[in-house]
Chains A and B, each alone.
Chain A
């Protein structure tokens, strides 16, 4: 049983030992698993789930790795009914700022490295301008420069963050939730 209310701006750093249920908590907030408890954003209850997930978007630890290209995924996500009418940024530009060349968007996701896929998917989700984000280890496959660039883009966002990278957590989080 839990209550999560995104009331103040900033990232809440969800910490705790492996297997304690950090990812499950994120998935519960996204409404992707059955759970008890209430979730709200600035005091408004969650409401119908697809609409909620378009506003409070989750970036899974393992992004898709199928035969569709990045460009095809951009189209697929943009065509979802609950993504209609949302203003969006250019995901390719976002990812270029993190060192992912534009050419990578023409390849099937299955043929990208873990770090490339991670940046591509994060850029795709952030480009949809969600009100809040649920980030599950967003930089786990990234090296120094790319990691710092991604970290800079995440500063000041609203949402939940799971990371084993203590420096990243301390740099980005405005609060800490310790699970045990």
Chain B
């Protein structure tokens, strides 16, 4: 009987890769034409994960907060970028608004988790901080991008109604309130759905990892609930902040509707 985690060597990875050959066989037999893409994706997955492991190794070993925090900043920047790359429209400065939302939501939540919930010592212990922040940012970025996208399209769809109200003395807060509310709701619905369905069919990724790593199921489940609660809080803060910042671009300080600032291409500055 196997006890504790199975140590994986290169031979094990080669054996697992047999399943990639199965994928390739399916592609060839069914004439899917996906062989090239499969090759590229397989190599990328292997290289990216290997590099990640090699980078995290010294960060975990260093015993200094600076490389850990530097890595966290890099994750925040990447998440902010990724959130804006997914939207249909964009505006100047959108990338920085997204990064700011990620920094406040992800940073605040991760610090809260380390200091108050887990009380790890030192608070920046990378074994906790880096995976937690990664999970939080990964989920926050979908809320942020959904919320910003919806805010821009609502301002465009309702420009007649908004401008007619501005034209009789409405402030940008008065006409922006409903847009903020609706766009934020849009960004928050997926995490609520995830929380409602979790554990019914699949075991979530983090819990799977912990079970494979030898953690007792009840402990793994508790960790999974903890991460979901953290994610929910972070998604709420990040989405609301990103939506408010976006609406303030579409409705400027002079209470003018500036939807011409929303470009159609998906490249954000």
Contact = CB atoms under 8 A, between A and B. Distances in A.
A30 B166 CA distance: 9
B158 interface: yes
A49 interface: yes
Contact of B164 (A52, A54, A82, A121): A121
A81 B166 CA distance: 12
B257 interface: yes
Interface in B166-186: 166-171, 174
Nearest to A53: B169
A4 interface: no
Nearest to A86: B169
B254 interface: yes
- Residue of A32, A55, A65 with highest tally of chain B CB at under 10 A: A32
B160 interface: yes
B168 A60 contact: no
Contacts of A125: 168
A130 B168 CA distance: 9
Nearest to B254: A49
A101 interface: no
A62 interface: yes
B165 A80 contact: yes
A125 B165 CA distance: 10
B26 to A, nearest CB: 49
Nearest to A66: B161
B97 to A, nearest CB: 21
Contacts of B82: none
A57 B168 contact: yes
Given A30-B167, A77-B165, A64 B160 contact: yes
* Size range of the chain A interface in the assembly: 20 to 34
B167 A80 contact: no
B35 interface: no
B224 to A, nearest CB: 42
Interface in A120-163: 121, 125, 128, 130, 134
A128 B160 contact: no
A81 B171 contact: yes
A82 B171 contact: yes
B167 A60 contact: yes
* Size range of the chain B interface in the assembly: 10 to 19
Contact of B160 (A32, A34, A63): A63
21 contacts: A31-B255, A32-B167, A33-B256, A34-B254, A50-B171, A52-B169, A53-B170, A54-B169, A57-B167, A58-B168, A60-B160, A60-B167, A65-B160, A66-B161, A77-B165, A77-B168, A80-B165, A80-B170, A80-B174, A81-B174, A83-B169
The 5 closest A-B pairs by CB, nearest first: A54-B169, A82-B169, A58-B167, A64-B161, A53-B169
A176 interface: no
Interface of B: 158, 160-161, 163-171, 174, 254-257
A49 B107 CA distance: 38
B248 to A, nearest CB: 16
Contact of B165 (A33, A51, A55, A76): A76
Contacts of B166: 32, 50, 53
A153 to B, nearest CB: 17
B160 A80 contact: no
Interface in A7-61: 30-34, 49-55, 57-60
Given A49-B254, A49-B255, A80 B168 contact: yes
Contacts of B257: 32
A155 to B, nearest CB: 22
Nearest to A51: B169
B251 to A, nearest CB: 11
Nearest to A26: B167
A31 B168 contact: no
A32 B254 CA distance: 8
B9 to A, nearest CB: 63
Contact of A32 (B161, B171, B256): B256
Nearest to A125: B168
Contacts of A63: 160, 164
A53 B163 CA distance: 11
A50 B165 contact: no
